Structure 1
């Protein structure tokens, strides 16, 4: 669940054009604490769910849904198809980055076995 919420937080923040520091300031937490939320390393988002929903103009249900990233149709002329496409592209990139990290670990293990 932390990864789902974290990915959604990152997409929502980028779509709004906010920095991590701006969102962290709104939530009255450090930028590093907010970064841990986005990276799925922390479940502290649950303590800030109301404020998160206010800053991104979404409902708590929208934040917790696992299918698509929720986009506010009123932002930037309502061009939600673009933002959904962008969010899906970001998810694909994140998956490939995870696969690349896994590949690097396997390579490292194989190199250690060769020594």
Structure 2
């Protein structure tokens, strides 16, 4: 289930209208509708506000595939939630940027080598 669908589900369970939610968030009703219809992605602060209004945890509103719950034996380490799924477009952008940086590093190495050979 994606963010907007979860928000709508929890909102209706609480008996709030879209207008109620818009007023609580201090946004227009149209803006709120876009969030529920997944036409607009709320930022983290907005998701947190919505979660509090709906008496849910922040991660309850995130898509299921974004959450990896880990629980170690309390001897340290990472206990809790890890958001581990990035949108494909963002991954592509990161990979492209990494390639650009690797190319720049290679160019700089070649420049250094040419300076040493002078």
Scaled by the length of structure 1, the TM-score of the pair is 0.52
- Alignment correspondent of 1:27: 25
RMSD of aligned alpha carbons: 1.8
Higher helix share: 1
The count of residues paired between Structure 1 and Structure 2 equals 65
Task: State the Cα distance separating 1:61 from its structure 2 match.
Answer: 1.2
- Alignment correspondent of 1:58: 56
Of structures 1 and 2, the larger Rg is shown by 2
| 1:14-68 alpha-carbon deviations (Å, 9 max, x no partner) | 111110000110000000000000000001253412211110111111111428x
- CA distance in 2 between counterparts of 1:45 and 1:20 reads 18
Gaps of 5+ in 1: 68-115
Q: Which has the higher contact order (CA 8 A, sep 6+)?
A: 1
| 1:54-105 alpha-carbon deviations (Å, 9 max, x no partner) | 10111111111428xxxxxxxxxxxxxxxxxxxxxxxxxxxxxxxxxxxxxx
Higher strand share: 2
- CA distance in 2 between counterparts of 1:61 and 1:46 reads 10
Gaps of 5+ in 2: 66-118
